Amino acid sequence: MAMIATLLEASLKFTLAMGVRATLVVLAPFFLYVITGISAILLGWPALSYPVFSLEADPFFVSGGALMGLFMLQSSGSFVLYQMLVGIEDDKSQLAILFGFISLGCSGAVLRVTLPQAIQFF
Distance CA 45, CA 29 (A): 20
In contact, 55 and 113? CB cutoff 8 Å:
yes
* Structural domain for 39, as ranges: 2-121
Residue 21 is predicted with a pLDDT of 96
Q: What b/e readout covers 38-72, taking b as 16+ CB neighbours within 10 angstroms?
A: eeeeeeeeeeeeeebeeeeebebbbbbbbbbbbbb
> What single letter denotes the amino acid at residue 75?
S
Share of residues in the chain with pLDDT > 90 (%): 67
Strand intervals (E) in 1-122: none
Q: What is the pLDDT of residues 92-121, one digit of tens each?
A: 999 999 999 999 999 999 999 999 999 998
Residue 99 C-alpha from the chain's centroid: 14
Number of structural domains the chain divides into:
1
Q: What is the pLDDT of residues 65-81, one digit of tens each?
A: 999 999 999 999 999 99
